[in-house]
Chains A and B, each alone.
Chain A
């Protein structure tokens, strides 16, 4: 046994730390701006690229993948080297990972505000960036597993287990949810449609929360909390149980994002059951984290780093109680589409992710730059501003969410909706939106204090050499019950796990995708037809502008919703929707049955100035749709791509796509002309109007056609037609 001396790569940790600070400010600044936009629509500034619906995805991506992403890489690169007693496997790969990830973030900032989006929440980036993410993630994985391979510590500490699970699962989720068919360089359609697309998206969406925002951070908790407290973790045995139960249960919880939608009931119940089970491992982890501080409570009183860890872990506990509660179907019936969900994710993001990152940064800066924090008092001030900011934010969102949920479903004694005008349920929330912006501003103020403090601390610091350490080599040391070369075999299962996973996933896809494609004869509602070329272009505008951010297209089968919006939504109506547009929040009314509800000119005026048609509306103006011309250069390619995905367009429809598009546009323009609007036929607004007027109308046409094969739908159609 020879003792080897080596140095840890601290430079890469410093880089990720500084990137975390930068993106925290950017992501939260955008968050504050969009919070103000909901309080006062004028904050949309009248520019396409500063409009709420385009900036909201930028905010979520910046906070999740830029801020939290960099913070977890920072913690993983620091702790992995020390836990495994080795330098990272490859400095080059570390740097490719760092710069590649920053480049991906910049490319997000250069696409999302310009309406280049796939509209799948937390996976909005278009296909070239999706590929870049996959490549950089594999670089990270190879570097990480390579480090495991060359480790000098045979035992793999529990933090590393969490990192392994995160790296493998995120790769899998990203690949499956990003299966899409490119149409042009920056436009693609997902291979799944409607309910299927929704299921894949929320399988991904929920597990992005699980395996990007939770498990890696739990790994960091198991490393940094004991380190900061100078105490071993409360129960190592509990941490192992925590790990295995959490990773097993989390993956099934996705369907709770689709309660009471057209998703089959058994899937909803399955998702709910696993979500409820999640409470146990989650709280096991929280208790393990908090009790690690046993015997160190006197230091919690004075040490702001420990205080931040306590708040972070407490918020983890609160969020993981709230999550299972919200996933109960009857609770979700009230909370879904409201701000309650927004409050829930922010207690996770600001409380758990934010404070974990801040505590780790304050702990790392003195170790990475060899200097104490310049202003310890500001660290304490940051703690208080952050805590108070979160509380203001979350309470405002709870109040707003429950208020709106109750208003939507309120009936008076005579059986009428008490708030039949949707606007009333939004305007009631405005004070809460101001309060939320205040909470967010206070929280951001704390972050700015941290940035200033770190800058003041590291300014002019001499370059610090990489930390030196030494450990006996494992080379040639027989593993327990194994000999010699089996050291290599022992490390290999981790590579094995990765490559089998990828191989099986690819193999599965190769076999399954054609099967899915070939099964185009699924039972459908015969009156549901593909979109026309103009409607499809209009739909792409709807996606691009981010209408789904505030408007759902999924009427749940509750009387309060069918009274307000019309017939509830059915799975068969979405089979040509690549991507699905169910939405997750109703800042405006549901649009699934908006088709035929208003005249064309109403939509025209509404996009120009929403307050002209709906006094008091908080919707931004989309006046550029009235001015910008509709490009038809890729219309044919889009129809062809849709046909490849199984939408039954005829050759004639594809060949004559553009002439037919112009024909339909001319008809709408002529109608607008009656109302005094000239020259609209080649503008984007006409396509959007065509799409909106089509929405949810197909099952009504069944009445006219009297489709004999589908009597129930025909009846429904009759009823719906009656209502409108």
Chain B
């Protein structure tokens, strides 16, 4: 309990201890305000970087719409279920697949 003893010693001081404590509250606010202004030039890098990413996403989004990627929001979800069924894939593999992956009744 060394820490506890230490804090007791600290608090058992005279009025001087209390005065410093009040001073610390005022000082706390002043320093916080000043801290905000310093040492973060890296934001000149990170904020543009974040904007570049966001703009790249936006450009990509616009391209995607123009290229017709979102014209049909139904069939792509169904079509992706279809692959691998088209062509014979060899005896061992075909047998395994027929067992493990029953053909979807909705999309034979």
Residues of A that sit less than 8 Å from B by CB: 5, 82-83, 85, 154-159, 164-165, 168-169, 172, 176, 192, 194-197, 199-200, 203, 223, 226-227, 230-233, 236-237, 240, 244, 247-248, 251-252, 262, 264-267, 366-367, 370-372, 415-417, 420-422, 462, 464-465, 467-470, 479-481, 490, 493, 497, 500-501, 504-505, 508-509, 512-513, 515-516, 519, 522-524, 557, 563-564, 568, 570-572, 574-575, 712-713, 715-716, 718-719, 722-723
Contact = CB atoms under 8 A, between A and B. Distances in A.
B78 interface: yes
A248 B54 contact: yes
Nearest to B24: A719
B6 A420 contact: yes
Interface in B1-53: 1-8, 10-11, 17, 20-21, 23-24, 27-28, 30-32, 34-46, 48-50, 52-53
Given A172-B53, A522-B38, A199 B87 contact: no
B75 to A, nearest CB: 8
Choose among A159, A422, A464 the residue with the greatest number of B CB atoms under 10 Å from its CB: A464
A497 B54 CA distance: 12
A225 to B, nearest CB: 11
A554 to B, nearest CB: 13
A157 B54 contact: no
Given A367-B97, A505-B49, A716 B80 contact: no
A266 B33 CA distance: 12
Given A176-B45, A199-B42, A367-B96, A570 B35 contact: yes
Contacts of B95: 370
Interface residues on B, range: 35 or more
Nearest to A461: B92
A464 B93 contact: yes
A265 B100 contact: no
B76 A157 contact: yes
Interface string B76-108: 111111011011111011011101111010000
A186 B43 CA distance: 28
Given A251-B54, A462-B92, A465-B90, A223 B80 contact: yes
19 contacts: A168-B56, A169-B53, A192-B42, A195-B39, A200-B45, A227-B81, A267-B40, A370-B93, A420-B7, A465-B90, A468-B89, A469-B83, A508-B45, A522-B39, A557-B32, A570-B31, A571-B39, A572-B39, A719-B21
A488 B45 CA distance: 34
A583 B48 CA distance: 27
A154 B69 CA distance: 8
Given A415-B11, A718-B20, A572 B96 contact: no
Contacts of B37: 523
Contact of B36 (A203, A233, A264, A467): A264
A83 B80 CA distance: 6
Contacts of B87: 5, 468-470
B73 A237 contact: yes
Given A195-B39, A371-B96, A719 B20 contact: yes
B104 to A, nearest CB: 4
A681 B49 CA distance: 47
Nearest 6 A-B pairs (CB), nearest first? A420-B3, A420-B4, A196-B42, A232-B77, A370-B93, A370-B92
A212 to B, nearest CB: 15
A328 B99 CA distance: 50
Contacts of B73: 236-237, 240
Nearest to B13: A722
Contact of A196 (B21, B41, B77, B90): B41
A388 B96 CA distance: 31
A264 B35 contact: yes
Contact of A157 (B74, B80, B86): B80
Contacts of B52: 501, 504-505, 508
A467 B89 contact: yes
Contact of A515 (B44, B68, B83): B44
B58 to A, nearest CB: 9
Contacts of B3: 417, 420-422, 564
A265 B45 contact: no
Contacts of A372: 96, 99-100
A575 B39 contact: yes
B35 A262 contact: yes
A247 B50 CA distance: 11
Given A83-B83, A508-B52, A715-B23, 7 more contacts: A195-B40, A236-B74, A266-B36, A367-B97, A480-B71, A524-B38, A575-B39
A215 B4 CA distance: 48
Given A247-B57, A500-B56, A572 B38 contact: yes
Contacts of A464: 90, 92-93
